[in-house]
Structure 1
């Protein structure tokens, strides 16, 4: 496990604490429509951190040509089960170098809030490295009160209760976040490190990677479309 990350529950657990069986059960909500509406029809899309393919299948069903990237072989095996024929690449995101560029790059699951600044900068650099100069990068952000409004819970469309149990400061502006996922027949937890970012901080991080915010895709600002800067 990575330092500060862990997971519990049935089945394989990835180095960042994600449970493969859990993520195989989770289904997409409104995210596929948000993504599809923000990119051209039939666009090529690089999905960074695909997990078990929760978004991959509905994005392919909407006509996008998806390349799914994850560092977990177990996760990518589930992607291929869900979406036969889809292209998958096993690699850490920050070191990914495919030598090609896409109409759109997707960085979902709040990955931009990783606690390690170097990893975050690597994620955004990978986004810029793989997006066409006239393309876009779609990024999912945490809500403004995500770390202060705890505990809280919601019912997921997959039939589980998702509970943010705690968000405890561990220094350097980073919180240790504990999530619980409770199905009638199984329970998982995930602990991970997350760095809250103000809008100014977020935009500064993007600018350092050669990206600039184009528009917010949701009223709450949790989904953003960025464009490459032309220098």
Structure 2
């Protein structure tokens, strides 16, 4: 059986890397791609927001500028060094996080929900539920349906100065794959190798339901951005049944 833990993740190129193979130098340079605008439009003005996996703050900065009260979480001190000038930051693994407080919204972006490890996904989503206030929402970025089937080694796409190339893509069973991407930006090249899993809409929504979440709305036509509501908190005790009269 294939193990999808982060021992199979790696990165190459100049500078520091996170445990899952992300380049701190690359992420600190990348411009936004409209993600923060989607998030800000889905929340009330001034909302408190817990940003899980904030990285170097590509979304944090415009979200703070939009008036949201952001608390950023990442396990990389190198990443958070770029965040702390603009928002409170917590260094911690997402799956073990328990801040003892709740927020109007929790953000799980960067396709983290597409982890190939089902148990890890469940822990990420439980962290979201654990930190969401009653009536609040969880905002999730997921891969579009069929993305894995559309990629092949050698394919590439560009955004501004950034060019991304698929170096390799190895099926690992049950919709999972081990992918190596190359990032060319500003005269330097980085690679990241990682496991991910295709999550068609029914499987994605089933994972939400297992964690106590349900889709409130899909925020984009391609359904890559989702606003979910908390239906139940798995950590809360189940109310005792009333005795029969």
What TM-score bracket applies, with the shorter chain setting the length? over 0.9
In the alignment, the residues of structure 2 paired with residue 131 and residue 123 of structure 1 have an alpha-carbon distance, to the nearest angstrom, of 13
In the alignment, the residues of structure 1 paired with residue 192 and residue 100 of structure 2 have an alpha-carbon distance, to the nearest angstrom, of 34
What residue number does 1:167 align with? 169
In the alignment, the residues of structure 1 paired with residue 210 and residue 139 of structure 2 have an alpha-carbon distance, to the nearest angstrom, of 17
The number of aligned residues is 227
In the alignment, the residues of structure 2 paired with residue 132 and residue 165 of structure 1 have an alpha-carbon distance, to the nearest angstrom, of 42
| 1:90 matches 2:96 | no
Q: Which segments of 5 or more consecutive residues in structure 2 lack a partner in the other structure?
A: 234-245
**1:199 CA drift (Å):** 0.8
Q: Deviations over 1:181-214 (max 9, x none)?
A: 1024100000000011111111111011110001
**1:155 CA drift (Å):** 1.8
Flag the 1:85–1:28 CA change in 2: closer, same or farther, 3 A: closer
Choose the corresponding residue for 2:64, options 60, 65, 82.
Answer: 60
Q: Deviations over 1:149-177 (max 9, x none)?
A: 123322224x1112233331123432001
RMSD of the alignment, in Å? 1.4
What residue number does 1:23 align with? 27
CA contact (8 A) 1:18 1:190 kept: yes
Larger Cα Rg: Structure 1 or Structure 2? 2
Q: Which segments of 5 or more consecutive residues in structure 1 lack a partner in the other structure?
A: none
What residue number does 1:155 align with? 158
Choose the corresponding residue for 2:217, options 215, 218, 223.
Answer: 215
What residue number does 1:125 align with? 126
Look up the SS of the partner of 1:135 in the other structure. Answer: strand
Flag the 1:184–1:230 CA change in 2: closer, same or farther, 3 A: closer
**1:107 CA drift (Å):** 0.4
| 1:32 matches 2:36 | yes
